Structure 1
Amino acid sequence: MNKIKFIIILCLGVLTSCVDSEISSQTANTSKSVEKNISVDTEFELAATPPMGWNSFDAYDCRINEEEFKATVDYMAENLKEYGWEYAVIDYIWWHPNPGNWDTPRRKGHPNIRYNDDGSPLYPEYTNMDEFGRLIPAVERFPSAAGGKGFKPIADYVHNKGLKFGIHIMRGIHRVAAFQATPIMGTNMTAKDIAEPFDTCNWCNHMYGVDGSKEGAQEYYDSLFKLYAEWGVDFIKADDTMFPPYHDEEIEMIHKAIEKSGRPMILSLSCGEAPVSRAPHLIENANMWRISADFWDNWESLEHNFDLLNAWSPFIGPGHWPDGDMLPIGKLSLNDRPHGKERMSNFTEPEHYTLMTLWSIAKSPLMMGGDLLSTPESTMKFLKNRDVIYVNQHSVDNRQVIKHNNEAIWIATDPANGDRFIALFNLADQPETISFNLEDESLRGTFKVKDLWEGKYLENVNQVLSAKIAPHGGKIFRLTKL
């Protein structure tokens, strides 16, 4: 999307922009004779590296307000921006003044809206939209949106902090717009003409699908993204796009609308599991896409992501990133929504290391889900390790070497100097020593070893890299050839 293609040839021993300056200088001295070239295809303008940021869903469900969001943005600017965390994203139902203000049998506070038999909303004041059927922020929660300003004042606030602003949208057109037959900007068509009442999300009842064969369908999406561009949106999380069935037609319309908007926007598709068979289509139309179902703080889901990230690893690349979902760490489900009781993450400390190590070496986008305002600083160490973040942002040839007998091993390369990153994981319920035979990757000779989480150098190794690892824990190392 809005792509420019160019090829960077990195000659080892020339480019040494490694995070660890000591390693960089040593590598420059020891690899001058190395003439191996690494070609990095960087056909992109957006998402050159996996996007990093924060999304409101895991902590606030659909209920965050302007005061809470701005406070979170302040925290990000003061504490996380320097490490690369830059996107601040408001998740779903921001157009409703008090979403989920009643309980449903399916989930506490689930934000479905009740309708009359004729399709009219039981409470029309709950749906805020403009004259073209485009949803706009509820001023009760986002007061700066008053007077038709929409999210522009909040986007300006985020940008002034040196960060980028994102919003969640649902695929399709709001059913109230279809009921009212609101006009589609720039056409003689109405929302009713393009809406597909039979095509609804099975977990959120607000939207009808859009029939891409109808006149006015693309124009409707164009009008949406024209509005988002005017607001200054940098990131779009488009939901209900891949959950069966896979909505290729609407994904393409969204992609085209972003291109026409004149403003670069990351396109993140939800929810998963995305079908691997659609990888070429996803690479062509999106910057990131969910490869898992909603990911929460339990070991079974984390272990399953080893297989998902492994299956998607051939499709990692600049501008397009398979997404393991948000990081459910820190304080989650405020006021017992959206998933379980309010709590600190159920992940153990070793599982935190596994989560951040796996997401980093698999180059998944890093989107923090926990509440930044009430999560203790002791947890923030998992978001502030520059060496581990470097692996996520800059390594190449990321892949799983083995997952067998309660152990998993991933490997990647630093294109700046040829160093190798090796992650060892203990999937067992008891401490284990995990060993990796370096010959399995033709790594011969002696290597300097840095434990990236501990930030310290270990004894040099040759032949075998080993570490004793806690149950469900992970470690990651940088190996520099001596």
Structure 2
Amino acid sequence: MKYFFSFVVGFFFITIQAQNNDQRILTPKAGKLPKVNAVRVFGVRPNSEFIYKIPATGEGQLVYAVDNLPEGLSVNAKNGVITGFLKKKGDFKIILKASNKLGSDKREMIIKVGDKICLTPPIGWNSWYSWSESVADDKIRKTAQAFEKLGLINYGWNYINIDDCWQGKREGKDLALQPNERFPDMQGLSNYIHSFGMKIGIYTTPWVSSYAGFTGGTCDNAEGNYDVFAIPLENRKQLNQIAGSYPGVHRKNLSRIGEYWFLDVDAKQMADWGFDFVKVDWKPNDIKTTKRFHDDLVNQNRDIVFSVSNNAPITNAEGLATYSNLWRTTTDIEDKWEKILSIVDTQFEWRPYVGPGHWSDPDMLQIGSFGTPNSFVKKTVPSKLTADEQYSQVSFWALQAAPLIISCNLDEMDDFTLSLITNNEVIDIDQDPLGVSADKFWLKSNEIRVMYKALYDGSMAVGVFNTSESEKEYTLNLNEFHFLKKYKIRDVWRQKDLGEFTDTIKVMIKSHGVILLKLSK
């Protein structure tokens, strides 16, 4: 679908000073009055478990309610969690409400019961950069607790995803993959996450071994016996790390799909445990394998978001968009500005394939404190990205309708990082129900980059990025967008109205910084 806009150029200028590393823009704190921050559209398949927490801020104890809630669903008035099952296909328009002693707020949401899920990009947390090989049940539970304590759950952050290193052995009559000793009760863990109204995710691979050296989704024998090609026990850092730490998977020639496919029984096990998301990691991401696991998931009586990883080739774009909900478009990200830019530069070719139910995934946000990947993490350190670079990354991702997945140690989250991910207006741009990924202008020898994204209400989000090593001034000519004759401009990071204009905007942007604007009628 294509969108066309028109603007009229004038001669009025407004100068906006971008943030720098010493004057960080903190999102205004949530007010005392209630504010509902829900998505505007939610997809579920008939007869699948429905779980959705109404995200809302406000002083004191909030009371939740829903108007026009369809038969089969109920809402907990104390915590705002909607649960139940819907049998019939169709669109159901509901009104989500939150109130306290000072007032109330509401937002319309459409529940689409049909064949599509994941109608907005997932936002949540993944264990890889924070805990890597040390991921465990207690860390996942503490992350859920932190989502509630820090208030992330009140802004729609709702996925808690376990990455690689949870895998144990194949056991039981179906030889489904079971967890290692650090995850004693997967179903209990899922139930715990669901009790908050959040979703839980897990990791696998169609290879014989995962990247981190743990049991994969296929094997070379029907018994699911990996001991015949595993490294000796005395050489393993962990009992179930059959190939040793990365790159052992390559050294042992286990980065391949084995003769016997076990991902069908694994999919059933994941569904029985109650998982809502699965990341499947291998490359190249071929369509045959993608479709096979897609079919395994669809056969389960549960909605499970299917995330393909990693470094998907653009030649497979149509198939990946058909059979998966997310596809990783890059190798593993790093907290380096050059890496962020290299990823952004490659995203626009995926734009025609992005839309509700199908999202390009440029990998995780490099904000907060991380451990060292492919290690048993005991200590985390802050991101190497500057404050301006972090604003830019979050803005890039939001404009491109990318999944917003953090992977930091939440116990060490500072006010700046929390502010980055609790700006409800930035989140709304990412979660816009139109599902359009940004288009671009590359200007001034690529030093100034302008990205613009159509929004469902007829407005537009515009990001102006300075990728150079020095502060830059740039005059944004609004007629380049072909939008309106008169418009309102809002600074999204500052959540500040700038006024009504019919003219150009002159912006002053710090090195590696961004100005994120919303243009509306």
* TM tier, smaller: 0.7 to 0.9
SS in 1 for 2:299: helix
Alignment of 1:187-206 (within 5 A): 202=250
Give the aligned residue type for 1:56: S
Of the candidates 382, 395, 399, which is equivalent to residue 438 of structure 2? 399
* Unmatched runs of 5 consecutive residues or more in structure 1: 9-16, 18-40, 97-126, 146-150, 185-189, 193-199
* Aligned residue in 2 for 1:81: 153
Q: Distance in 2 between matches of 1:339 and 1:303?
A: 28
Q: Distance in 1 between matches of 2:277 and 2:356?
A: 16
SS in 1 for 2:167: coil
* Aligned residue in 1 for 2:121: 50
Alignment of 1:60-459 (within 5 A): 60-78=131-149, 79-96=151-168, 127=169, 129-139=171-181, 141-143=182-184, 145=185, 151-173=186-208, 178=219, 181-182=222-223, 202=250, 208-211=256-259, 217=261, 220-240=262-282, 243-244=283-284, 246-272=285-311, 274-333=312-371, 337=375, 342-394=380-432, 396-404=435-443, 405=445, 406-416=447-457, 418-459=458-499
Alignment of 1:32-43 (within 5 A): none
Give the aligned residue type for 1:375: M
From the superposition, tell whether residues 179 and 445 of structure 1 become closer, same or farther in structure 2 (CA, over 3 Å): closer
Give the aligned residue type for 2:502: N
From the superposition, tell whether residues 441 and 413 of structure 1 become closer, same or farther in structure 2 (CA, over 3 Å): same
Q: Distance in 1 between matches of 2:197 and 2:468?
A: 42
1:371 to partner: Cα distance: 1.2
1:398 to partner: Cα distance: 3.3
Q: Distance in 2 between matches of 1:161 and 1:302?
A: 33
Post-superposition CA distance 1:267-289 (Å, at most 9, x none): 001111x1111111001110001
Could you tell me the percent identity over the aligned residues?
25
Q: Is the 8 A contact 1:62 1:91 kept in 2?
A: no
Q: Distance in 2 between matches of 1:57 and 1:265?
A: 20
Q: Distance in 2 between matches of 1:401 and 1:43?
A: 33
1:397 to partner: Cα distance: 4.0
SS in 2 for 1:135: strand
SS in 1 for 2:411: coil
* Unmatched runs of 5 consecutive residues or more in structure 2: 1-42, 47-88, 97-111, 210-214, 229-247
1:129 to partner: Cα distance: 4.1
Question: Which sits farther off after the overlay, 333-342 or 262-271?
Answer: 333-342
Post-superposition CA distance 1:38-67 (Å, at most 9, x none): xxx998531100011100001111211111
Give the aligned residue type for 1:142: F
From the superposition, tell whether residues 422 and 340 of structure 1 become closer, same or farther in structure 2 (CA, over 3 Å): farther
Q: Is the 8 A contact 2:440 2:452 kept in 1?
A: yes
* Aligned residue in 2 for 1:103: none
SS in 2 for 1:209: coil
SS in 2 for 1:93: coil
Post-superposition CA distance 1:215-270 (Å, at most 9, x none): x74xx332111111110010000011xx23x3322211110000111111000011
From the superposition, tell whether residues 55 and 204 of structure 1 become closer, same or farther in structure 2 (CA, over 3 Å): farther
1:374 to partner: Cα distance: 1.6
TM-score by length of 2: 0.69
SS in 2 for 1:373: helix
1:306 to partner: Cα distance: 2.1
Detail structure 1 runs of 4+ shifted over 6 Å in the superposition: 1-4, 338-341
Q: Is the 8 A contact 1:95 1:128 kept in 2?
A: no
Give the aligned residue type for 2:331: A
* Aligned residue in 2 for 1:25: none
SS in 1 for 2:257: strand
Q: Is the 8 A contact 1:361 1:398 kept in 2?
A: yes
From the superposition, tell whether residues 231 and 328 of structure 1 become closer, same or farther in structure 2 (CA, over 3 Å): same
SS in 1 for 2:453: strand
Give the aligned residue type for 2:395: T
SS in 2 for 1:359: helix
Between the two proteins, the alignment pairs up a number of residues equal to 394
Give the aligned residue type for 1:133: L
Give the aligned residue type for 1:344: P
Q: Is the 8 A contact 1:77 1:162 kept in 2?
A: no
From the superposition, tell whether residues 299 and 203 of structure 1 become closer, same or farther in structure 2 (CA, over 3 Å): farther
More helix by share: 1
From the superposition, tell whether residues 477 and 466 of structure 1 become closer, same or farther in structure 2 (CA, over 3 Å): same
Q: Is the 8 A contact 1:221 1:253 kept in 2?
A: no
Q: Is the 8 A contact 1:351 1:472 kept in 2?
A: yes
Q: Distance in 2 between matches of 1:207 and 1:132?
A: 24
RMSD: 3.5
